């Protein structure tokens, strides 16, 4: 990732332990890093897609900073490795998305390890995809708390078997909602401490499962923006992906609301991105690929 996002976040937090008049120490900012899985640039209403509405994600751009040029890798693990370490994936030992090619070299330092050393509480809720077992597991790479799945793909999003700090547990409800519930509990628990919260959502990656509340809105929807080659676009796949993105947007809204409720918003940096382009042929703001 040419922007070295993890290094940017570290510079932001390192520069915040300053003194105000009267000797009051400014608290280091909390960091919430949210990553969607297989969401395209065009899968947001702020990008010009009238097929869906994403007011909460849009607000992050409208009231913050939105990069016009921002590069990730074409598939999951390389992007995640670069986010975690601030270096190009070729230098990190990552060369594939499975068969061991997703594992970060053990001599690499992750952003979570740096924050933890600086006194931050650290947690990850979602899809890890950077090594399944210790010493590659998130609990061994700087995260005190992990809830989700460590592999690159999960076959069921409703009440699935997932893991909590290495132990198998049964999830509750739709996975993206469940991950957000855990993230909210972490925020509440650590409201008096600086925290680094990593939320790598599993959606809109397949399987294309989404709660009826979201699917019912899209199942008969006429799509106004489509891929330039309408023959190759699977419209129901597109509808499911957009429904999943609206679910993510609602969960982002829940996180923002909780930060506001706890008076943490002004001292929290929220970053939102996707790990790569869309997972199907659909409208993507003029870009050609998937």
Question: What are the catalytic residues?
Answer: 76, 129
Query: What's the per-residue H, E or C state across 138-169?
Result: HHHCCCCEEEEECCCCCCCCECCEEEECCEEE
**Helix (H/G/I), strand (E/B), else coil: 126:** strand
For residue 141, what are the β-bridge partners? none
Q: Are the C-beta atoms of 269 and 32 separated by less than 8 Å? A: yes
Identify the CA nearest to 54 among candidates 40, 74, 75, 65: 40
Integer Cα distance of 266 and 144 in angstroms: 25
Nearest to 77 by CA among 90, 57, 95, 53: 95
In this structure, the strands spanning 161-164 and 145-149 are: antiparallel
Q: Torsion over CA of 149, 52, 276 and 267, rounded to 10 degrees? A: -70
Please, where are the H alpha helices in 108-261?
111-117, 175-189, 212-218, 235-261
Report the Cα 178 to chain-centroid distance in Å.
14
Rounded CA-CA distance 74/80 in Å is 11
Tell me the three state secondary structure of residue 2.
coil
């Amino acid at each position: 990732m040419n922007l070295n996002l993890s290094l940017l976040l570290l510079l932001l937090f390192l520069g915040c332990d300053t003194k105000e008049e009267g000797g009051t120490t400014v608290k280091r900012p909390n960091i919430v890093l949210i990553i969607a899985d297989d969401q395209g640039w065009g899968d947001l209403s702020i990008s010009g897609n009238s097929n869906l509405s994403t007011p909460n994600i849009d607000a992050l751009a409208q009231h913050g900073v939105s990069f016009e040029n921002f590069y990730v890798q074409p598939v999951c693990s390389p992007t995640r490795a670069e986010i975690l370490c601030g270096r190009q994936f070729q230098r990190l030992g990552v060369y594939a998305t499975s068969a061991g090619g997703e594992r970060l070299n053990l001599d690499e330092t992750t952003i979570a390890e740096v924050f933890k050393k600086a006194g931050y509480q650290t947690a990850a809720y979602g899809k890890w995809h950077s090594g399944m077992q210790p010493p590659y597991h998130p609990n061994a790479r700087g995260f005190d708390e992990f809830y989700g799945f460590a592999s690159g793909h999960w076959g069921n999003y409703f009440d699935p078997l997932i893991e909590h700090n290495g132990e198998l547990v049964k999830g509750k409800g739709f996975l993206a909602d469940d991950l957000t519930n855990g993230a909210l509990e972490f925020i509440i628990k650590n409201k008096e401490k600086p925290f680094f919260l990593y939320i790598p959502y599993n959606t809109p990656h397949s399987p294309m499962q989404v709660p009826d509340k979201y699917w019912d809105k899209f199942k008969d929807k006429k799509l106004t923006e489509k891929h330039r080659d309408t023959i190759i676009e699977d419209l129901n796949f597109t509808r499911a992906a957009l429904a999943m993105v609206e679910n993510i947007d609602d969960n982002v809204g829940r996180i923002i609301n909780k930060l506001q409720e706890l008076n943490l918003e002004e001292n929290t940096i929220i970053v939102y991105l996707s790990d790569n382009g869309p997972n199907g042929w659909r409208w993507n703001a003029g870009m050609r690929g998937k």
